[in-house]
Amino acid sequence: MDNELADLDHKKELQANALARETGITVDEALMLIELVGPHRGAMLRVAKIVQAQKSGGPAAKQLDPTPTTDASWGG
């Protein structure tokens, strides 16, 4: 059983390192995302890109901001 837990931790660490390299977030942030989102690669990539965009404050951060905006064409 200890072997299985060590194997899972090792896999999680490898996944976190790959996610961090690919998206520019830290390994600690990647580990936290894996805990929150689970091992779903697409979901992890999306959230990691949002985190990185918010950290950099670039134009992508505005596009990925989940805050609702008021749009007159929607009557808001």
**First and final C-alpha spacing in the chain:** 56
pLDDT tens sequence across 40-59: 889 988 999 998 898 888 65
Q: Where are the domains of the chain?
A: 2-65
Q: What is the pLDDT of residues 55-75, one digit of tens each?
A: 888 655 555 555 555 555 555
Residue 9: what residue type?
D
Instruction: Say which DSSP state 57 is in.
Output: T
Regarding pTM above 0.75, the answer is no
- Mean pLDDT in the chain? 80
> DSSP character for 38?
-
Percent helix, strand and coil across the chain, each rounded to 5? 75, 0, 25
> pLDDT-derived band of residue 32, with 50, 70 and 90 as boundaries?
very high
